[in-house]
């Protein structure tokens, strides 16, 4: 009896995992794009996912080469439901790393990171 219910539970769990994998959020594109070089700091950082995300429970951080973080404000009410946008202060020339974390509608937390470079034309 005990073994039988264990098998049933494992079967249900497998089904749940298969269903939730379908709704997992994936990053489709970003602005700035990963590894982009910009002539000046972007006013906003925008991420687009393959489905709706819980914006209130999603974050974007920006770090410079030493790990310092300028204040970033995630715009929860703005834009499409699959898009997360944050305003950033003017970023100095250099390499910046974006670290993001979103809550998928299936309850899974998904995170990732990418970098871009700010380099005025006189510095190239
Ligand atoms: Cu998921």
Those residues whose C-beta lies under 8 Å from the C-beta of residue 43, and which sit 6 or more positions away, are: 87, 88
Is there a contact between 60 and 47 (Cβ–Cβ < 8 Å)?
A: yes
As its CATH architecture, domain 25-118 has Sandwich (2.60)
Check whether 2 has a pLDDT greater than 60: no
Q: Please give the distance, rounded to the nearest whole angstrom, from the Cα atom of residue 54 to the centre of ligand 1.
A: 13
What are the tens digits of pLDDT across the range 56-113? 999 999 999 999 999 999 999 878 999 999 999 999 999 999 999 999 989 999 999 9
Q: How far apart are CA 110 and CA 124, in angstroms?
A: 35
SS3 call for 104: strand
62, burial (CB in 10 Å: exposed 0-12, middle 13-18, buried 19+): buried
CA 66 to centroid of ligand 1, rounded, Å: 32
pLDDT given at position 116: 98
Strands 94-104 and 27-31: unpaired
Average pLDDT value for residue range 19-25: 64
Please tell me the distance between residue 23's alpha carbon and the centre of ligand 1 in angstroms. 6
Query: Cα of 87 to ligand 1 centre, how many Å?
Result: 27
The domain spans of the chain are 25-118
């Amino acid at each position: 009896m005990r073994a039988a219910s264990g098998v049933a539970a494992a079967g249900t769990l497998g089904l749940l995992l298969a269903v939730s994998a379908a709704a997992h959020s994936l990053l489709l594109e970003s602005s700035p794009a990963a590894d982009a070089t910009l002539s000046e700091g972007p006013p906003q950082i925008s991420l687009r996912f393959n489905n709706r995300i819980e914006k209130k429970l999603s974050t974007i951080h920006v770090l410079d080469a030493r790990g310092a973080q300028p204040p970033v404000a995630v715009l929860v009410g703005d834009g499409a439901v699959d898009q997360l946008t944050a305003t950033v202060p003017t970023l100095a020339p250099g390499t910046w790393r974006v670290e993001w974390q979103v809550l998928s509608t299936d309850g899974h937390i998904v995170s990732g990171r990418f970098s871009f470079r700010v380099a005025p034309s006189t510095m190239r």
